[in-house]
A and B are shown apart, each in its own frame.
Chain A
Amino acid sequence: MTATVARPPRMARTRPPRSVGRLISRWALPVLTALAIGYLLIPVMVMIVFSFNDYQGKFNFIWNGFTIDGWLHPFEWPGLPGSITNSLLIAFVSTAVSTVLGTLMGLALTRYDFRGRGPMNALIFLPMATPEIVMGSSLLTLFIGSALPPLNGVIPRGTFYPLGLQTILIAHIMFNISYVVVTVKARVAGFDRHLEEAAMDLGADEWTTFRKVTLPLILPGVIAAALLAFSLSIDDFVITNFVSGTTNTFPIWVWGIIKNALPVQINIVGTIIFVLAVGGVALSTLRGGGAAPTRIR
């Protein structure tokens, strides 16, 4: 976009344009774009820069000089490694489960006409539309309720209560599924059913057709959905805070520690996550662009 605007159109040569218009078209968009990108990136920049801060006292707030001390001990703070392990575990498991379930649901909801499909399509948006804080508190109510009469003893202890990794997982899978379904549905909607018929025509049974044709073609959508689920899971705070009990995830740990200290390790872990996320997105964009052109004759 910027490129076409920055270079005045060919017509400009034969007919001199109004100079103000040209000025605007030449400068306004690039400048605004730069501002917008700056606005988005400055917090990240601050985070990265302050991960190299040689700060005084407990709080890493004021710039005091460059050091790589923090980066030499990136996880050295009581409770930090455990919380990161938990976050990663939850993110991986909830992403895997919700991607598989959500993909199948997305396929079913676009493909098949069954009773209750309409309501199902609407319900799938509910977890996204409900305020997180409401979702968190009602999940907490549900989980605690499961340990009280009359449910007490019906559901094995340790499933919903006491709160811990498993309840966080249940919550994350729940909200992730919605996002996966919506993302996958968008991809499946543009899918040509004849391709699957062609595969079956050529001797592929249902499973082979799925493996060789359906999945490769919706894969970019599935990968995008998985990345989204992973990032939603790894930085969820509100819902997790309600259902985590005494288990710490990284965001919960940060929230707990900043009352007493703001160690440089927070910036470092944040930077690592940012770099990995950017890398992941870049990779999936490259793959997605090459592997599955949606153009179908």
Chain B
Amino acid sequence: MADVAVRLTQLTKRFGDPAGRRSATADGSPTAEGVTAVDHIDLEVEDGEFFSLLGPSGCGKTTTLRMIGGFEQPTFGRIELQGEDVTWLPPYRRNVNTVFQNYALFPHLSVFENVAFGLRRRKVPIAEVKRRVSEMLELVELPGFERRKPSQISGGQAQRVALARALVNKPAVLLLDEPLGALDLKLRRQMQVELKRIQEEVGITFIYVTHDQEEAMTMSDRIAVMNRGRYEQLGDPEVLYERPRTRFVAGFLGVSNLLPATMDGQADGYAAFRLGDGTTVRVPTTVLEDQSGSVAVGVRPEKIRMHETDQASPPGFNSLGGTIVDASYIGVSTQYIVRMADGRRVTVYEQNVERATKSELWKTGEQVVLAWSPDHCFVVEEGGGAAPESDEELNAVA
């Protein structure tokens, strides 16, 4: 087990509590006024990990990061850095560095002096400052930019200077708050790869904040999906995608079909669920965790195959009849919307391989049978928690 770089214990931040009191109640539980930006978070980030906080706007990602950096004081809870309690230490006494969303490069200092800022504070000898700054600029591929001012470089370059400025101090943990937010898509992609490369090269723990699920998935070792001041699920990208545990996670990472269902017994390692239209689908019991109350069975649109008849679907697969109500050709794939007997809509992505030309594609109005392996199912709790999008909206967006 790797060492823990950052440990958050019951970390809570409330804004707008009555002035003069840090917390209205002893354990930081809500009072009438105020917003709970971060709500009793427990989290452990391992050494050398690329860890992402992913969530929609306003869910408390920045606030969490700012508390770790020391810019915001928690209402309640504890922050440990490599085993040391830093909850009440000022930013300059913590061995973490931050890459700010707007980069916050010092406009009056040259690129060199920006990067050297941290080293100079620690009275590192001049020769070593020079050496380490040039090494860093080399690493972020900006040699020769030493004498430019921040106003004389591009956004992507500024982002890299901000990264170099933080990394040159060799912090235990690097905090990054949507560092690629201001860049255009192409540059974003390029910087994602570069960030990942740099992280692997320097081996520093990264805590990365983003609301872009694709970005989090491609770069992270582990992701915590946050919603309303808490994280709903924590795991590596694959687990989050294949086995989301809540409706929110299922909807936030990619597109999901969620079919409300009731459990109807178990046998041979599979549980049977009855859907709204009376069909029964099978789900491996391994994906069942103690989901309580009403649940929904989920399946990703790309896991579903479409067939003309029931017979065509492989044995043991879940199958479901419906009518195609919409087909949109997207080039690599075609997206279909299929209406089930009970009126529910299911989204299906089909690679344009077997049916590649427009005339070969399924047509609106055709009766089809949807089939998918039970192993691709997941089960989420219904009701409680905010669903980011309803099925209808999902279909509309996708």
A291 interface contact, C-beta 8 A: yes
The reply to whether B105 and A197 contact each other, CB–CB distance below 8 Å, is: no
The residue of chain B having its C-beta at the shortest distance from the C-beta of A113 within the complex is B19
A198 to chain B minimum Cβ distance, whole angstroms, is 4
Of the stretches B94-102, B140-148, B230-238, B263-271, the one at the interface is B94-102
A203 interface contact, C-beta 8 A: yes
A223 interface contact, C-beta 8 A: no
The reply to whether B100 and A197 contact each other, CB–CB distance below 8 Å, is: yes
A45 interface contact, C-beta 8 A: no
Among A192, A194, A204, A213, the most chain B Cβ lie within 10 Å of the Cβ of A194
A71 to chain B minimum Cβ distance, whole angstroms, is 42
Of the stretches B116-124, B319-327, B370-378, the one at the interface is B116-124
Please report the total number of A residues contacting B with Cβ < 8 Å: 24
A200 contact set on B, CB distance < 8 A: 70-71, 90-92
B251 interface contact, C-beta 8 A: no
The reply to whether A197 and B121 contact each other, CB–CB distance below 8 Å, is: no
The reply to whether A296 and B98 contact each other, CB–CB distance below 8 Å, is: no
| A131 CA / B122 CA spacing, docked (Å) | 53
A243 interface contact, C-beta 8 A: no
| A291 CA / B108 CA spacing, docked (Å) | 7
A249 to chain B minimum Cβ distance, whole angstroms, is 38
A202 contact set on B, CB distance < 8 A: 92, 97, 117-118, 121, 165-166, 169
B149 contact set on A, CB distance < 8 A: 293
Taken residue by residue from 144 to 174, chain B's Cβ proximity to chain A (1 for < 8 Å, 0 otherwise) reads as 0000011100010010000001100100000
A198 contact set on B, CB distance < 8 A: 98, 100, 104-106, 165
The residue of chain A having its C-beta at the shortest distance from the C-beta of B182 within the complex is A297
The reply to whether A296 and B122 contact each other, CB–CB distance below 8 Å, is: no
CB contact under 8 A between A295 and B106, given known A198-B100, A201-B98, A203-B92: no
The reply to whether A295 and B121 contact each other, CB–CB distance below 8 Å, is: no
A295 contact set on B, CB distance < 8 A: 107, 151
| A199 CA / B109 CA spacing, docked (Å) | 12
The reply to whether A203 and B122 contact each other, CB–CB distance below 8 Å, is: yes
A204 contact set on B, CB distance < 8 A: 92, 117, 121
The reply to whether B169 and A203 contact each other, CB–CB distance below 8 Å, is: yes
The reply to whether A297 and B92 contact each other, CB–CB distance below 8 Å, is: no
Taken residue by residue from 194 to 214, chain A's Cβ proximity to chain B (1 for < 8 Å, 0 otherwise) reads as 110111111111001000110
The residue of chain B having its C-beta at the shortest distance from the C-beta of A115 within the complex is B19
A162-204 CB contacts (< 8 Å) to partner B? 192, 194-195, 197-204
A212 contact set on B, CB distance < 8 A: 117
A216 interface contact, C-beta 8 A: yes
| A202 CA / B96 CA spacing, docked (Å) | 9
The reply to whether B108 and A216 contact each other, CB–CB distance below 8 Å, is: yes
The residue of chain B having its C-beta at the shortest distance from the C-beta of A294 within the complex is B107
A291 contact set on B, CB distance < 8 A: 108
| A255 CA / B117 CA spacing, docked (Å) | 55
B150 contact set on A, CB distance < 8 A: 297
CB contact under 8 A between A297 and B158, given known A200-B91, A201-B69, A201-B91: yes
B103 interface contact, C-beta 8 A: yes
A292 interface contact, C-beta 8 A: yes
The reply to whether B169 and A194 contact each other, CB–CB distance below 8 Å, is: no
Partner of B107, one of A197, A201, A203, A296: A296
A217 interface contact, C-beta 8 A: yes
A20-39 CB contacts (< 8 Å) to partner B? none
A192-248 CB contacts (< 8 Å) to partner B? 192, 194-195, 197-205, 208, 212-213, 216-217
The residue of chain B having its C-beta at the shortest distance from the C-beta of A202 within the complex is B118
| A195 CA / B91 CA spacing, docked (Å) | 13
B32 to chain A minimum Cβ distance, whole angstroms, is 21
A297 contact set on B, CB distance < 8 A: 102-103, 105, 150-151, 155, 158, 182
The reply to whether B90 and A293 contact each other, CB–CB distance below 8 Å, is: no
B96 contact set on A, CB distance < 8 A: 201
The residue of chain A having its C-beta at the shortest distance from the C-beta of B149 within the complex is A293
| A293 CA / B108 CA spacing, docked (Å) | 7
Partner of A194, one of B90, B102, B155, B166: B102
B78-137 CB contacts (< 8 Å) to partner A? 90-92, 96-98, 100, 102-108, 117-118, 121-122
The reply to whether B151 and A195 contact each other, CB–CB distance below 8 Å, is: no
B35 to chain A minimum Cβ distance, whole angstroms, is 17
| A15 CA / B169 CA spacing, docked (Å) | 63
CB contact under 8 A between A292 and B97, given known A200-B90, A200-B91, A205-B92: no
| A212 CA / B102 CA spacing, docked (Å) | 20
| A198 CA / B104 CA spacing, docked (Å) | 7
| A202 CA / B155 CA spacing, docked (Å) | 21
A213 contact set on B, CB distance < 8 A: 106
Taken residue by residue from 57 to 101, chain A's Cβ proximity to chain B (1 for < 8 Å, 0 otherwise) reads as 000000000000000000000000000000000000000000000
B98 contact set on A, CB distance < 8 A: 197-198, 201
| A297 CA / B102 CA spacing, docked (Å) | 6
CB contact under 8 A between A217 and B107, given known A199-B117, A297-B150, A297-B158: yes
A197 contact set on B, CB distance < 8 A: 69, 71, 91, 98, 100, 104
A113 to chain B minimum Cβ distance, whole angstroms, is 9
B178 to chain A minimum Cβ distance, whole angstroms, is 13
The reply to whether A192 and B117 contact each other, CB–CB distance below 8 Å, is: no
Residues of A within 8 A of B (CB): 192, 194-195, 197-205, 208, 212-213, 216-217, 291-297
22 contacts between A and B (CB under 8 A): A194-B100, A194-B102, A195-B104, A195-B106, A195-B107, A197-B91, A197-B98, A198-B98, A198-B106, A199-B106, A200-B71, A200-B91, A201-B92, A202-B97, A203-B92, A203-B122, A204-B92, A204-B117, A205-B90, A292-B107, A296-B107, A297-B151
What 9 additional pairs, Cβ within 8 angstroms, besides A194-B100, A203-B118, A217-B107? A197-B91, A198-B98, A198-B106, A198-B165, A199-B106, A201-B97, A202-B165, A204-B121, A205-B90
Enumerate the 9 nearest inter-chain pairs by beta-carbon distance, A residue then B residue, closest first: A202-B118, A203-B121, A194-B104, A198-B104, A200-B91, A201-B98, A216-B108, A203-B92, A202-B117
